[in-house]
Structure 1
Amino acid sequence: MHPLKTILFLASAVALALVPVLMPDPYLLSIMASTGIFIIAAISLNLLLGFTGQLSLGHVAFFGIGAYTSALLALGFDLTLPGFAEPWVVAPKPVWVAFVSGIAVAGLAGGLIGRVAFRVRGAYFVIVTICFAQVMRMVAMNWIDLTEGPMALNSIPALTLWLPGGTIDIVTKKSTYYLILAVAVIAYLVVAAMVHSRVGRAMIALRENETLARSVGIKVTHYLIVATVASAAIAGAAGGLYAHTVRIIDPDVFMFMFTVTMIIMVIIGGKGTLAGPVVGGLLFGLLPELLRGTVAPEVQWIIYGLLMIAVLIFMPQGIVPAAGRTVHKRFGKWPGAGKSAKRALAPRSAA
């Protein structure tokens, strides 16, 4: 990562870490925590949409898989399988084991779906992802013996923090905020490491020109599946955080609106940029709360919608790229500006 970008990243992380100290209002911290969960999900979607150019309208499926897997393992369950007289009993697992398992299962689901979905492209790929999300929602709704269906899974254990004197549950607004911030930083760094690696160069190459990428030896399907697995795993982490902080989940966790929220965060912030989902997420998550109490609810959403339209008209590539161009004009070359698809498509990235 460029030194200037590293400084900006560290400054932003410190500023966000100081929020509970400077503004300890529990309601604000709750809003920030909820926004943080969806920023993590948007970071995961940006890896797929922004760096490989693949639009997934079923990304919420991985979010929900992570949430349900983590919740079920933490609570424990028994399941009667066809052909077996005795039910399969799974005892409650430690919450961190359940959380990591949710990430792993979501990543595995991403790999399996990637192998099927990437046989097609364009609108067909979008339809496959939507259908997958709807199938998962129907499973959660109707497999009542496992998921409790519309009755919801409740009393989900909170994540814990190990201390020398024992463990404490992460249930306060402040501790929950710091947990989500830590996971968000890890997700950001994982995506940054991938993007700046050989894998990232290959993903950007196929986004810019898939035919040319194939011609220089890049295994397009392989790198798309790698991106999907990583993206799904990070989305599963966001879902696990959602389950263990809200502590109750139902099939609405697979709502299509959640995917729309992620897409708006990525597009408004700037797809294909590391900071885009963070900036778009903060704007999308906090603006309605900033307007609350100042104007009528109907006017709030009108202002919100007009602002989104204005961003798309005047900054079609997103807020972060527009800010980068402004800095470039005033102070010189912005780090990373001017890199073309030609560099990404260089033969060395085909290895």
Structure 2
Amino acid sequence: MKSSSILFVASVLLLAALPVLWPDPYVLSVVASAGIFIIAAISLNLLLGYTGQLSLGHVAFFGIGAYTSALMSLGFDVTLPGSDEPFVVAPKPVWLAFASGIVVAGLFGWLVGKLAFRVRGAYFVIVTISFAQVMRMVATNWVDLTEGPMALNSIPPLTLWVPGEGVVDLVTKASTYWLVLAVAVIAWLLVAALVHSRTGRAMIALRENETLARSIGVPVTHYLRIAAVGAAAIAGAAGGLYAHTVRIIDPDVFMFMFTITMVIMVIVGGKGTLAGPVVGGLLFGLLPELLRGRLAPEVQWILYGTLMIVILIFMPRGIVPALSGLRRRKRAPQARPQSAAAPAAAPAVQPPARAAGEAA
């Protein structure tokens, strides 16, 4: 087994043991909340880190997943334009509702990718921001469906069948934490499998040089859409988790600050690396809670911003690439003395012609 695989398994086991080692409900709640945004950051990293496309409207898919999952689990009726009869959807099982949130978010990812990837650079960023703002306005003003600012509440929690106990609601802090961890591991493994596949190599190729990738026949738009759908679906899963764990959502779920948080986690952790969003998410997901109550709010934000600037100045590629480079540099001096010793031993073996001349 590779060292990276051993590290991954050990990290998952250590995180899974947290409710046993540190059963404080507040700690578990904070780490679970950070875990939801780590899942969202993992999804954004697929688009930003592996295709090089900066989406500042990624929170839209998070919100779509949250609202779809909540509405499907609660049930709803709405009168569509041009129809006199209301469209009624009965409440669905929570896991079916959760899956529907992922599917709907992925469909919107395909739609936005189909439209937005016709442009690049700042134009793409503007399109994604506009899409997120449109979704927020829909959630705010379509009161018949979303309840608008009054929020959707009493959202049912996700459940799990336990032998001997039947179906159990995942409402305790420990069960919520394990649920978030399980979804995060699945999302990480899916992204890792995609990145190491032929599709992932094509994404990296167009990130490094899109013009060259086109010249050798890589269908750039096709692979960008795959990344957009995958990123949107995983963000939708994070949104569904948010809805079923918080159990109340309003249009603030589309806040622009959520996207900025995801971008910070990806860039500071190391975009284009599998561990980057996790490291950045743990750091900037837990830091505000660690500072809360100890320092004044304005001092917290100053320290938060200062730390981010310092990291990006001394580790411009992010924490994970910087640590990987340091590890390689530590290994390099051990190899140099061995390579330097080889030339010193070479003169001991004389060429045959020279040896024959000396014998004569």
Query: What TM-score do the two structures reach when normalised by structure 1?
Result: 0.93
What is the match of residue 73 of structure 2? 74
Distance 1:180 1:81 in 2: 35
What is the match of residue 189 of structure 1? 189
Distance 2:156 2:185 in 1: 23
Deviation track 1:162-184 (CA, whole Å, cap 9, x = no partner) reads 12331010000000000000000
| Off by >6 Å, runs of 4+ in structure 1 | none
Distance 2:89 2:304 in 1: 46
What is the match of residue 286 of structure 1? 286
Superposed displacement of residue 270, structure 1: 0.2
What is the match of residue 24 of structure 2? 25
Distance 1:45 1:74 in 2: 26
**1:1-351 equivalence runs, <5 A:** 3-164=2-163, 165-331=165-331
Superposed displacement of residue 332, structure 1: 5.1
Distance 1:292 1:66 in 2: 29
Superposed displacement of residue 81, structure 1: 1.7
Deviation track 1:38-96 (CA, whole Å, cap 9, x = no partner) reads 00000000000000000000000000000000000000000112232221110000000
Q: Secondary structure, in 3 states, of the residue corresponding to 2:85?
A: coil
Superposed displacement of residue 19, structure 1: 1.1
Distance 2:28 2:99 in 1: 25
Deviation track 1:188-210 (CA, whole Å, cap 9, x = no partner) reads 00000000000000000000000
Give the residue type in structure 2 aligned to 1:67: A
Give the residue type in structure 2 aligned to 1:77: F
Distance 2:242 2:275 in 1: 22
Deviation track 1:206-250 (CA, whole Å, cap 9, x = no partner) reads 000000000111000000000000000000000000000000000
Give the residue type in structure 1 aligned to 2:128: T
Q: Secondary structure, in 3 states, of the residue corresponding to 1:257?
A: helix
Deviation track 1:86-143 (CA, whole Å, cap 9, x = no partner) reads 2111000000000000000000000011000000000000000000000000000000
Distance 2:109 2:40 in 1: 14
Distance 2:46 2:6 in 1: 22
Distance 2:147 2:318 in 1: 41
Q: How many residue pairs end up in the alignment?
A: 332
Give the residue type in structure 2 aligned to 1:133: A
Superposed displacement of residue 301, structure 1: 2.2
Give the residue type in structure 2 aligned to 1:208: E
Give the residue type in structure 2 aligned to 1:255: M
What is the match of residue 350 of structure 2? none
Distance 2:324 2:168 in 1: 43
CA-atom RMSD in angstroms: 1.2
Deviation track 1:291-350 (CA, whole Å, cap 9, x = no partner) reads 3344333322222211111000000000000000011111359xxxxxxxxxxxxxxxxx
Distance 1:285 1:112 in 2: 30
Q: Secondary structure, in 3 states, of the residue corresponding to 1:194?
A: helix
Distance 1:133 1:288 in 2: 25
Distance 1:151 1:293 in 2: 30
Question: Matched residues, percent identical?
Answer: 77
Superposed displacement of residue 15, structure 1: 1.2
The structure with more radius of gyration:
2
Distance 2:294 2:248 in 1: 32
Give the residue type in structure 2 aligned to 1:265: M
Distance 2:332 2:170 in 1: 45
Give the residue type in structure 1 aligned to 2:79: T
Q: Secondary structure, in 3 states, of the residue corresponding to 1:51?
A: helix
Distance 1:82 1:292 in 2: 47
Q: Secondary structure, in 3 states, of the residue corresponding to 1:171?
A: coil
What is the match of residue 340 of structure 1? none
Superposed displacement of residue 26, structure 1: 0.5
Give the residue type in structure 1 aligned to 2:45: N
Deviation track 1:258-296 (CA, whole Å, cap 9, x = no partner) reads 000000000000000000000000000111222334433
